[in-house]
Amino acid sequence: MALLRYAAQNSSSSNTTSSPCRYHVFLSFRGKDTRKNFSDHLYTALVNARFRTFRDEDELERGEGINPGIERAIRQSRSSVIVFSKDFASSNWCLDEVVMILERKRVFSDHIVLPVFYDVNPSQVRKQTGSFAKAPKDEVKEQGERMEGSTKPGC
């Protein structure tokens, strides 16, 4: 929470020179794994701590592309919390969000990214083992290439 408070303070102090961020936190998670438990509790705690927090409320149909509203919310967020869970990497949607979040971080280095490992070992994500070995890598690479040309301003 301390890093998120830092992000919130920096976004409010920069309001005089640029437009304010719409969200303090963009919450990325695999709904099937954590929506009704961990992510819901985390979202509630963030909101109760007065963080403007974006979370996707809509269930996505299998195979649907990422919503332009999600990309806009990532650009308008001061920080992102990514909840890595067992089936996170099996979702192209989740992987697309990670690519967009990391692109946001690359273009605007003040964007804070906080990973949370829910019922997975961080080394599985880092080394792409376990359920993370099955991630559709070509899809992620292709999404990253599409995002490279994007330099839309963030907050």
Catalytic one of 64, 97, 139, 148: 97
Q: Is there a catalytic annotation at residue 97?
A: yes
CA triplet 77, 73, 58: central angle to 5 degrees? Answer: 135
- Phi, psi angle pair for 149, to nearest 5°: -80, -10
3-state helix, strand, coil in the chain (%, to 5): 50, 15, 35
Q: What sections of the chain are H helices per DSSP?
A: 2-13, 31-34, 38-48, 68-75, 92-107, 122-127, 137-148
**Edge-to-edge strand ranges of the sheet holding 23-29:** 53-54, 23-29, 77-84, 112-117
DSSP state of 35: T
Residues taking part in catalysis = 97
